Structure 1
Amino acid sequence: MKKETLHTPYEISFNEAEVCSKFEHGHNFFELAFIRSGTGRHILNQSECKYHAGQLYLMTPEDTHHFVIETKTEFFFLRFTNMYLEKNNFGSDSLQRLEYILQNANHHNECILRNISDRSFVAPVIETIYEEYTFKHLYNEDLIHQLINTLIIIVARNIATFLPDYISETTEEKAVKILQYIQQNIYDPEKLKAEQISSVFSVSTAYVGRYFKKHTNDTLQQYIAKYKVNLIEHRIKFSDKRMNEIAYEFGFTDVSHLNKFFRKQRGYSLRDIRAL
């Protein structure tokens, strides 16, 4: 898998494509992708969802992704590093908060614009960036920087609204890294065993469960189950995958096994979701 590197604090591009121009790749920076027009599928960390105009996706340095284009698509990409955040006068407190929010975004494959009012605000901001980027009006670079900062703050606001209550800026780094590890390996049950987690993070198997609960108020198994069931419900609602494909994707033996797990967590069945 190719890993891309960004050699400048930020980079913007406007692309139009009728076929996928990039295969799965990772990178060492944050990437925002906005769909200006077109339809297709976005694959993020093995999770697939349909995309359409008006959607905005965030990829962190921990993610791998690519787009599968079904109809001609116009993309806006903003790539930026921590260096960009540090050099753009967000203020020390705001910077710490921004870095925390962006780094700890749940790696869900879905549009990050959860606040309804922001959905109608983002497209004009991006179109103004396009105007300034294309036609090089007076003070265009200064204006583009301000618009990029506005976009990043909107993204942070939408992510912060849905961060788990028990995670904050004061949560120990190791606990946050364990959460990230679980999110990244949610499709691989073997990697989610306490023995494996304790080995990766150099914590004794006897202690890793107590350590995790101390910092999150959930046991390892409770958090894994919650995170997994949220992904499963999202997959059922927003993908065309069959139930047996979803069961296989998350390591269940069959649909019956998946349904039993889901009913225990949610109190209703998989069929109830598809009926909504």
Structure 2
Amino acid sequence: MNDSLPGGIAMIYYTKEQFLESPDFPFHIEPYEFHSNAIAPHKHEFIECVFVAEGEGEHIYRGETYPIARGDFFVIEPQAEHGYRVTGSVPMVVYNILFLPELLETELRQLSQVTPFIRFFYLEPMLRVSSEFQYHLKLTVNEGLETKFLLDRIVGEYGKKELGYRLCVKAMLMELFISLSRWYEKRVSEPLSAVRDEKSVMAWVCEFMKLHYAQPIMMEQIYQMCGMSAAAFTAKFKQYAGKTFMEYRNEVRIGMACELLRGSGDKIIHIAQEVGFNDLSHFNKAFKQLTGKTPGQFRSAARTTGKSSNLATISED
């Protein structure tokens, strides 16, 4: 990694190989007790869910500092720079749940149809830089005890590794995420448009789709989160982006597919699925509509010439 901190100090970067169990079970959980005043800023290539079980401190996230204390639960997306600072007189105890999305690919796709889960798991990390948003879920005493009990069960299963432990871990993770979504829903009722002007809302939507283009998120969920009707959202998005929501998402997906076709040897059907198309014929049609070539033709041209048109060029035509 070329990232560095002020003064030329290299950024600590944690890889999946360092922490996660294996490629077919990319998961790790561990409670940590922090006594020192600071945990150095770092990045990692996996999702990190954090539950503060004891103590208090500060979370430094992308240069911004937020207070954290017992009962806080939050999500750190991959490649986000963050660190911790202990501020209280007692150690800070946190549970770290680390995993790659493919661990729960089917389950996360199902949960992606639940709007509160989308807001907490995907949208909250994007909005932390604004003080207008609460960047973490503050659990009540009872919710915190329930969460700690469930996390201790996951730690036990994962540590013992008895017959069927992977299935048990995944089931309990889903129970945790569903509980968090329910608690989050009770706390958050304001649509994005209540605290942001319409232009900013549309900008957030575009950024959100760039980050989560492969998720089966429905436009209905997006316009509900924006606090708009379908007609109002459709009109305002097209006015902002110059294209419909579906056209924009397809361009993002096809743009990523182009990168994968140029840089990997994966089968076309696998690339289609990776960027969010479950129907290969739909992928082929959308790809040709945007690039003028079939995926196979695009890959052949890229291999022959070492370069090919990209969506930036397409959009300018």
- TM-score for both structures, normalised by structure 1: 0.52
Distance 1:122 1:66, change over 3 A: same
Residue 2 of structure 1 corresponds to which residue in structure 2? 12
Identity %: 17
1:39–1:52 contact (8 Å) kept in structure 2: yes
Aligned residues: 185
Q: Unaligned regions of 5+ residues in structure 2, if any?
A: 1-10, 18-22, 129-133, 194-201, 211-235, 246-317
Query: Is it true that 1:19 corresponds to 2:28 in the alignment?
Result: no
Distance 1:152 1:5, change over 3 A: farther
Give runs of aligned pairs for residues 150-161 of structure 1, distance below 5 A.
150-159=175-184
1:18 Cα deviation from its structure 2 partner: 1.0
Q: Unaligned regions of 5+ residues in structure 1, if any?
A: 168-172, 182-206, 217-276
1:54–1:123 contact (8 Å) kept in structure 2: no
Distance 1:81 1:135, change over 3 A: closer
Query: Is it true that 1:79 corresponds to 2:98 in the alignment?
Result: yes
1:77 Cα deviation from its structure 2 partner: 0.3
1:123 Cα deviation from its structure 2 partner: 2.0
Give runs of aligned pairs for residues 156-235 of structure 1, distance below 5 A.
156-159=181-184, 162=188, 165=191, 176-178=205-207, 210-211=239-240
In structure 2, C-alpha distance between the alignment counterparts of 1:157 and 1:104, rounded to whole Å:
16
CA deviations on 1:93-116 (whole Å, 9 max, x unpaired) are: 434558844222244374314678
2:36–2:86 contact (8 Å) kept in structure 1: yes
CA deviations on 1:224-269 (whole Å, 9 max, x unpaired) are: xxxxxxxxxxxxxxxxxxxxxxxxxxxxxxxxxxxxxxxxxxxxxx
1:180 Cα deviation from its structure 2 partner: 8.7
1:11–1:80 contact (8 Å) kept in structure 2: yes
Give runs of aligned pairs for residues 1-276 of structure 1, distance below 5 A.
1-7=11-17, 8=23, 9-19=26-36, 22-61=39-78, 63-70=80-87, 71-86=90-105, 89-90=106-107, 92-95=109-112, 97=114, 100-101=118-119, 102-105=121-124, 106-108=126-128, 110-113=135-138, 118-134=143-159, 139-159=164-184, 162=188, 165=191, 176-178=205-207, 210-211=239-240
In structure 2, C-alpha distance between the alignment counterparts of 1:180 and 1:45, rounded to whole Å:
20
- TM-score for both structures, normalised by structure 2: 0.46
- Considering Cα pairs closer than 8 Å and 6+ residues apart, tell me whether 1 or 2 has the greater RCO: 1
Distance 1:215 1:179, change over 3 A: farther
In structure 1, C-alpha distance between the alignment counterparts of 2:112 and 2:208, rounded to whole Å:
22
Residue 219 of structure 1 corresponds to which residue in structure 2? none
CA RMSD of aligned residues (A): 4.2
1:30–1:60 contact (8 Å) kept in structure 2: yes
CA deviations on 1:71-125 (whole Å, 9 max, x unpaired) are: 3222210012221221xx4275434558844222244374314678644421221
Max radius of gyration: which structure? 2
1:165 Cα deviation from its structure 2 partner: 3.5
Distance 1:84 1:158, change over 3 A: farther
1:153 Cα deviation from its structure 2 partner: 2.4
In structure 1, C-alpha distance between the alignment counterparts of 2:139 and 2:52, rounded to whole Å:
16
Equivalent AA in structure 2 for residue 2 of structure 1: I
Q: Secondary structure at the match of 2:98?
A: strand
In structure 2, C-alpha distance between the alignment counterparts of 1:91 and 1:47, rounded to whole Å:
29
Equivalent AA in structure 1 for residue 92 of structure 2: T
